[in-house]
């Protein structure tokens, strides 16, 4: 049970860090543009579940990278 809470807290910490990107729309645009190409808004509208899955994998990747610091 404690392991689950620890993992959740790590995910929440990463999500809070990512939410700071909203202060810098140019950076957010660059991240989405490099991930999905020029038509990323249409992709996100057409495939919201895939986008959520991609974000979840990105958060897990961030946690893994933090562990290897």
Alpha helices in the chain (DSSP H): 2-19, 25-36, 40-46, 48-67
3-state secondary structure of 38: coil
Per-residue pLDDT tens digits for 7-47: 888 889 999 998 898 899 999 889 889 988 889 899 999 99
Number of residues that make up the chain: 69
Residue ranges per structural domain of the chain: 2-67
- Say how far apart CA 61 and CA 69 lie, in whole Å: 13
For the CA atoms of the chain, what is the radius of gyration?
14
When pLDDT is cut at 50, 70 and 90, the band that residue 2 belongs to is: low
């Amino acid at each position: 049970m404690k392991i689950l809470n620890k993992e959740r807290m790590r995910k929440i910490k990463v999500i809070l860090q990512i939410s700071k990107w909203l202060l810098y729309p140019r950076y957010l645009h660059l991240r989405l543009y490099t991930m999905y190409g020029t038509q990323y808004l249409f992709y996100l509208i057409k495939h919201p579940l895939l986008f959520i899955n991609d974000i979840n994998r990105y958060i897990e990747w961030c946690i893994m990278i933090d562990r290897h610091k």
